[in-house]
Amino acid sequence: MTHPAFGTLLTARIDRPLGSAHPNYPDLIYPVNYGFVPGLLAPDGEEQDVYVMGVTEPLETFTGVLAAVIHRRDDVEDKWVLAPAGAALSRADILAQTAFQERYFQTDLWMEEPSIEDGAEQGERV
């Protein structure tokens, strides 16, 4: 599945840095940086939420490209995945690193479609 914003450079504010606990569920620890894109509204009326991948230290802000979208079939919003430009993220890595939170939803993982020569699979469901 393609998304018109794939590859777009975005800046996120991180309100739940890597290693922090969820504000309402203290046993839920974030294995990735999690935040939002200021000023970009999502369908829930709040700013667009993002996971930041390809970075291994807690952050306050992050500028990177939209690498994937986690489409929640049973929720009103999607979660976007930002990464450093040129980072190689696999479907397996994204699914594993977001499972701490996404396991509670029915999702589709959308990534930019590779060329036919790449032979990669598309539209993985979890």
Q: Which two tokens stand for residue 53?
A: 């991948």
Residue 93 belongs to what H/E stretch?
helix 91-102
Comparing C-alpha atoms, which of 33, 57, 37 is closest to residue 47?
37
| Confidence check: pLDDT of 65 > 90 | yes
Contact status, residue 80 vs residue 48, Cβ threshold 8 Å: yes
The answer to whether 70 and 102 have CB atoms below 8 angstroms apart is: yes
Q: Is the pLDDT of residue 121 over 60?
A: no
What confidence tens digit (pLDDT) does each residue in 74-115 have? 999 999 999 999 898 999 999 999 999 999 999 999 997 654
CA distance 39 to 46: 9
